[in-house]
Amino acid sequence: MFRAVLIDPDTKEICSEIGNLITDEQWAKFAVWSYQQNKDVRSLISEMGAIVEEVNGNRLRIVGTLPHCKLWGCIQPDGSCHT
């Protein structure tokens, strides 16, 4: 099983290799939250403590404290959220 942090702990930036694996639907979810909360996407991901983990083969979900509800959950590859 693949698992990695989305924010590089040394640079505090989004890991480009991992970021390239995120689906457009997952990025869209962050864009909506960014607009709703008036925060940049990197800040939301950092506050979330986002961990990317393998779901079905090469599909990845993002796990952490969801920005919109502050509950532990995940963003599935299709952009849906679950707590």
The model scores a pTM over 0.95: no
**Cα 77 to Cα 12, 32, 57, distances in angstroms:** 24, 16, 12
For residues 83 and 72, the answer to whether their CB atoms sit within 8 Å is: yes
What does the longest C-alpha to C-alpha distance in the chain come to?
A: 34
Task: pLDDT tens for the chain, 83 residues: list them.
Answer: 789 999 998 999 999 888 898 999 999 999 999 999 999 999 999 999 999 998 877 789 999 999 999 999 999 999 999 99
- Residue 55's pLDDT is 80
